Amino acid sequence: MNIQTTNRLTAAETALIEAYNDQMGDLPGDGEVFAVRDRLLDELKTAGLPTRRVEAWHYTDFKNLLRLVPSDIGKGLVEALPATVEGSPVLAALQGKASEKASVKGLTVGRYADSLINGTAAAGLEALGKDDAIGRINASFVRDGYVIDFPDGTELEAPLEVQFIHAGGQIHSRLPVSFGADVKATFIERHQAVEGAAALVSSVSEVKIGKGSEITWIVLQEQGSEDTHLGQLRIDLGEDAKLRLFVINAGGKLVRQELYIKVVGEGADLTLRGINLLGGDTHTDVTMVLGHDVPNTGSTEVIRNVVFDRARGVFQGMIRVAPDAQKTDAKMACNTLLMSDDAEFSVKPELEIFADDVQCGHGATVADIDKNHLYYLMARGIPENKARAMLVNAFVAEIVEELEDEALVEALEGVISAWLEKHA
């Protein structure tokens, strides 16, 4: 690494650099892959992790919030979990390693490690911009994941679930998924910690959705109470394609979930629903950049947040409408329940509109439980703590019920209820 450091490194930044030096001899990749890895780590070393001075990270002072960087990669034995929806096919990456025998009927499934070894992954490792700390960290350390291709016309009867399961350490994975034309499928991207040491987890999913496809993509994040989770979802939405994207954060000490979505095909439509369940002394940041690049496209985004204790949350939502993107219809809303005087949630909705024939809007609300609703339940003999839990559950369950798949709705409502029982 020839670039000289121009800032004072924190203990966590130093630990990242030392971890790379320790691991580089064991990381998969050809010469081209390592050239990209080395350059991105050099850039990270030179610039340091983002602080509040970086606009995209204004509410998440990553440089100071990142305290723990485990020195070891994920070790120990962990097993795949039962499918979120009973009977669904599961591809499991355990402690960051994909199965060499993974397969799903009708799909092409490969290990990401193989694309690193043969060099085909090199171009995809590039960062998205100068502030892409997650992309740089992941590209520097990524070892494995899955590469999945859905042929044209594929229709899945049950959701396909990819599980990233760990028991501590450093876990860095990638998930490139390509949906051909006229595909109908539900995909669950599940991040789960089991008992073990604290972890630093990074994950980048690259999703391309072809013409006329109808996809439901669910991100279910349940990391451990001391874990750092850095997630990034990059999506290209093609002509007449429809995407329903659900993001549920129900764990982690420090979480940054980035959504970069490009609507590149005319007639495409995006529905985004997010649920952030925050408790303890945690920090969760969901940042979205949505680009409408062509005419006659639509999107709706609704984020629901429940914040207990001293937790802090962030939602940054940027919608950009290009000059050629006439007839765009885009709406965004963020609704928050603050359940403690010490809880915080920051909302930053943004619109950049360069076309004149569009319908775009955004809104945000922050409130406590409606006292009239609470009184109504308590007057019918329901204890206050139970009544509060019922109202909070209804606030977020309304989002999940949009999925309409009864088994999937029941499973996700179970995740929400379990979290509320623990924190409410």
Could you count the other beta carbons within 10 Å of the beta carbon of residue 384?
A: 12
Cβ 61 vs Cβ 132: under 8 Å? no
Verify that 86 and 223 share a domain, yes or no.
yes
DSSP state of 55: G
Cβ 284 vs Cβ 278: under 8 Å? yes
pLDDT value of residue 66: 95
Residues near 13 by beta carbon (within 8 Å), at least 6 away in sequence: 44, 45, 48, 49, 63
Residue where a domain terminates, one of 342, 369, 396: 369
DSSP state of 155: B
Verify that 283 and 393 share a domain, yes or no.
no
Residue where a domain terminates, one of 369, 385, 407: 369
Within a domain: residue 339?
yes
Give the span between the Cα atoms of 163 and 150, in whole angstroms.
18
Within a domain: residue 62?
no
pTM check: above 0.75: yes
Give the span between the Cα atoms of 65 and 150, in whole angstroms.
39
Least Cα distance to 148 among 190, 210, 106 occurs for: 106
Verify that 187 and 177 share a domain, yes or no.
yes
Structural domain count of the chain: 2
Verify that 364 and 380 share a domain, yes or no.
no
The pairing of beta strand 97-98 with beta strand 359-367? unpaired
Verify that 176 and 286 share a domain, yes or no.
yes
pLDDT value of residue 6: 47
Within a domain: residue 399?
yes
Verify that 266 and 409 share a domain, yes or no.
no
Helix (H, G, I), strand (E, B) or coil at 180: coil
pLDDT value of residue 197: 86
- Dihedral, 237, 239, 242, 248 alpha carbons, nearest 10: 0
Within a domain: residue 96?
yes
Verify that 293 and 412 share a domain, yes or no.
no
Within a domain: residue 99?
yes
> CA separation (Å) from 360 to 272, 301, 318, 329, 377?
15, 11, 12, 6, 38
What residue numbers bound the domain in which 144 lies? Answer: 76-369
Verify that 375 and 328 share a domain, yes or no.
no
Within a domain: residue 260?
yes
Verify that 178 and 307 share a domain, yes or no.
yes
Verify that 409 and 338 share a domain, yes or no.
no
Beta bridge partners of residue 417, listed in sequence order: none
> CA separation (Å) from 4 to 19, 44, 48?
18, 11, 12
Give the span between the Cα atoms of 73 and 355, in whole angstroms.
48
Least Cα distance to 45 among 15, 23, 90, 74 occurs for: 15
Cβ 89 vs Cβ 172: under 8 Å? no
DSSP state of 403: G
Residues near 77 by beta carbon (within 8 Å), at least 6 away in sequence: none
Within a domain: residue 211?
yes
Beta bridge partners of residue 155, listed in sequence order: 184
Within a domain: residue 8?
no
pLDDT value of residue 7: 62
Verify that 339 and 388 share a domain, yes or no.
no
- Dihedral, 83, 270, 258, 312 alpha carbons, nearest 10: -90
Helix (H, G, I), strand (E, B) or coil at 76: coil
Cβ 16 vs Cβ 69: under 8 Å? yes
pLDDT value of residue 72: 84
Verify that 361 and 390 share a domain, yes or no.
no
pLDDT per residue rounded down to tens, the chain (424 residues): 443 444 688 999 999 999 999 998 999 999 999 999 999 999 999 999 999 999 999 999 999 999 989 988 877 789 999 999 999 999 999 999 999 889 999 999 999 999 999 999 999 999 999 999 999 999 999 999 999 999 999 999 999 999 999 999 999 999 999 999 999 999 999 999 997 789 999 999 999 999 999 999 999 999 999 999 999 999 999 999 999 999 999 999 999 999 999 999 999 999 999 999 999 999 999 999 999 999 999 999 999 999 999 999 999 999 999 999 999 999 999 999 999 999 999 999 999 999 999 999 998 888 777 777 877 788 888 887 788 888 888 899 889 999 989 999 999 999 999 998 888 7
Residue where a domain terminates, one of 328, 352, 369: 369
Place of tokens 């494995």: 144
